Amino acid sequence: MALNVVWILGGLLVGYLVWKVGIGMLRSVTRPLPPPPPPGEMRRINVRYRCQVCGVELRLTLAPDEDPPPPRHCLEDMVVVAPINE
């Protein structure tokens, strides 16, 4: 008899926890995205470039916009070697 009460209370507790986690996940999905930073402010990015002439690699971590123009090395534009969104 006492064992059944423990199982019922345990089941109710697990059900309550699952419900709270589910509601929290749904609320996080419906929350709007934060506004973009003002123009001119640096944004975090992760882009890697490689010079096709000499092989020098460069990793760009901050830029004023999300899709910066490629830098130049050896008088040529460098090529992207990693996707912008990782």
E strand spans, 1-86:
43-50, 57-63, 72-73, 76-77, 79-80
pLDDT at 10 over 60: yes
Do 48 and 19 belong together in one domain? no
62 falls within a domain: yes
The pLDDT assigned to 82 comes to 62
52 falls within a domain: yes
Write the pLDDT tens digit of every residue in 73-83.
888 889 888 66
d(CA 69, CA 86): 18
Write the pLDDT tens digit of every residue in 14-35.
999 999 999 999 998 888 887 8
Domain count across the chain: 2
Do 76 and 47 belong together in one domain? yes
* Average pLDDT of the chain, as a whole number: 85
d(CA 44, CA 65): 9
Query: What is the span of the domain harbouring residue 76?
Result: 43-80
Indicate the pTM of the whole model. 0.49
38 falls within a domain: no
